[in-house]
């Protein structure tokens, strides 16, 4: 069993309102950054978990996203395996 280091990015779906992103967009424009046309605010999570393979680690993280970490109605998610520590035990 290996320990996998995962990065999970959750972001609002395109076309849905993002009040926090709009507020940041307006503030950036007010501070003189007129070239900013849109801002979307999401979240990033970094999880270490034990799994038998990279595919199992990714599948486990995707299940976590569908059940808890992302709202399937309003958010999309992306799981990336960023590293592995061989020989880890639980």
Full residue range of the structural domain in which residue 58 is found: 2-30+38-85
For residue 90, being part of any structural domain is answered with no
Question: What whole-number distance in Å separates Cα of residue 69 and Cα of residue 45?
Answer: 9
CA distances from 29 to 11, 12, 67, 68, 80 (A): 22, 21, 37, 34, 32
Total count of domains within the chain: 1
Q: What is the CATH number of the domain that holds 53?
A: 3.30.1280.10
List strands edge to edge, sheet with 2-12: 43-51, 2-12, 75-85
Q: pTM of the entire structure?
A: 0.83
What are the tens digits of pLDDT across the range 73-85? 999 999 999 999 8
In the numeric block, which tokens belong to residue 80?
A: 């990336």
pLDDT in tens, 43-87: 999 999 999 999 999 999 999 999 999 999 999 999 999 999 865
């Amino acid at each position: 069993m290996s320990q996998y280091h995962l990065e999970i990015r959750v972001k609002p779906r395109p076309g849905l309102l993002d009040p926090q992103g709009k507020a940041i967009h307006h503030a950036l424009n007010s501070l003189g950054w007129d070239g900013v046309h849109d801002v979307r605010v999401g979240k990033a999570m970094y999880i270490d978990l034990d799994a038998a393979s990279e595919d199992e680690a990714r599948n486990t993280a995707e299940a976590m996203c569908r059940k808890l970490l992302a709202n399937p109605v309003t958010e999309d998610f992306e799981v990336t395996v960023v590293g592995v520590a061989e020989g880890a035990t639980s």
